[in-house]
Amino acid sequence: MDEPRDPQLLKGVLPMLVLALLTERESYGYELVTRLHEGGLDDLSAGTLYPVLNRLERDGQISSRLVASSAGPARKYYLPTDTGAEQLWSTARAWQQLAVTVDHLLARATPKETS
Amino acid sequence: MSSTRDTLVRELYLMRFSWAMQDYPRYKPIVRELRTELTATAAEVGMRQAVADLGHPRVLADGYLSELGRPVPRWTTGAVWGALAVAAVAYLAMAYAVGTLDTIEQMGGGTLERVFLGATTTFVAESSTLAVESTFTWQVLVFYALVFTVPFLLGARVWRSWASSPTGQTVAA
């Protein structure tokens, strides 16, 4: 059974994950929530994601365009900008380095599993 | 197509969200965008689910405010503090007037004058008359302005107006 996730852990990496998913393909807000759920973040709410999208767009890391929808009003689709793409790789490298360090430290503190 | 009930649910949520976002600089485009997003999402999952996915409007607004990366003044809170301070002073003045009239009446009735910041207040308690009259001076006006302004500025945390982002050097409480 999965451990309950600390929201603060997710908060730090969410912008990176959003940039990564948008690099894969453009999406609108609610679709991104669904894709993040499918990716394993099933406790993420739209209310957590929308402020992050707003900040990324304000910082020029993602751009948006309106696409007509068959049901309801036009939807806002997001795509990373060049700045966002650079930011993604820079953050991803930093994350990988941090993950290695954290794993190393945790390995020293966590009891070994018996086979 | 959205029903009247859906529209009411959406607008009630957005009204609460707008209220919580009042301290966010130029928040109205965000509210408009959220309205469009809610309407579009409701076409997929229904309005109740779309609204529920956003969480509490206050928490959502806090999310936007924290993504600003810098503290912002809380003008709405300041206005509430200022209004409460003026109301408290007005209540005390009224309680003082009622108490004074009651005392004069218990002492057999009569007229009493008191001067505060140049304004003369006359209390009359006689068998046929019960009245309080007061003149008005600029000093009294300044007094009430200060009673409002000081709590307003403190409640609004006005010093945050000069705070920069966390990357800058200025830090606010």
pLDDT tens over chain A, length 115 residues: 567 777 778 888 999 999 999 999 999 999 999 999 999 998 888 999 999 999 999 999 999 999 987 777 888 999 999 999 999 999 999 999 999 999 999 988 877 655 4
| Distance, CA of A10 to chain centre | 8
Three-state secondary-structure class, residue A41: coil
Contact flag A73-B40 (C-beta cutoff 8 Å): yes
Residues from chain B that touch A48, judged by Cβ atoms under 8 A, are 55, 63
Query: Domain span at residue A15?
Result: 7-107
Number of domains in chain A: 1
Q: Would you state the pLDDT for residue B109?
A: 87
Rounded average pLDDT over B64-85: 90
B157: left (phi over 0), alpha (psi -120 to 50) or beta: left
Q: Would you state the pLDDT for residue B170?
A: 38
- The verdict on B37 touching A (C-beta cutoff 8 Å) is yes
Q: Would you state the pLDDT for residue A33?
A: 94
Residues from chain A that touch B44, judged by Cβ atoms under 8 A, are 30, 71-72
Spatial CA neighbour of B20 closest among B56, B71, B70: B56
Q: Would you state the pLDDT for residue B3?
A: 86
Indicate whether A112 belongs to any domain. no
Indicate whether A27 belongs to any domain. yes
> Which of A 31-60 lie inside 8 A of B, CB atoms?
33, 45-48, 50-52, 54-55
Per-residue confidence band for B43, with pLDDT thresholds at 50, 70 and 90: confident
- The verdict on B11 touching A (C-beta cutoff 8 Å) is no
How many Cα atoms occupy the beta-carbon half-sphere of B28 within 13 Å?
Answer: 0
Q: Would you state the pLDDT for residue A113?
A: 58
Which residue in chain A is spatially nearest to B68 when comparing CA positions? A55
Compute φ and ψ for B54, nearest 5 degrees: -80, -20
Classify residue A16 as exposed, middle or buried by CB count within 10 Å of its CB (0-12, 13-18, 19+): middle
pTM of the model: 0.70
ipTM confidence: 0.79
CB-nearest to B67 from A28, A29, A55 is A55
Percent of chain B's residues with pLDDT above 90: 64
Average pLDDT, chain B: 88
Distance from the Cα of A44 to chain B's closest Cα (Å) equals 9
Which residue in chain A is spatially nearest to B46 when comparing CA positions? A72
Indicate whether A100 belongs to any domain. yes
Q: Name A28's bridge partners.
A: A77
Three-state secondary-structure class, residue A72: coil
Q: Would you state the pLDDT for residue B69?
A: 80
Sheet holding A62-67, edge to edge: A27-28, A75-80, A62-67
- The verdict on A96 touching B (C-beta cutoff 8 Å) is no
H/E segment holding residue B76: helix B75-106
- Supply the CATH number for residue A56's domain: 1.10.10.10
Q: Is the pLDDT of residue B32 over 70?
A: yes
Q: Would you state the pLDDT for residue B1?
A: 53
Spatial CA neighbour of B6 closest among B38, B37, B34, B44: B38
pLDDT tens digits for B112-167? 999 999 999 999 998 888 899 999 899 999 999 999 999 999 999 888 888 765 44
H/E segment holding residue A31: helix A29-38
Spatial CA neighbour of B107 closest among B129, B132, B125, B128: B125
- The verdict on A67 touching B (C-beta cutoff 8 Å) is no
Size of interface A-B (CB pairs under 8 A): 67
Distance from the Cα of A112 to chain B's closest Cα (Å) equals 39
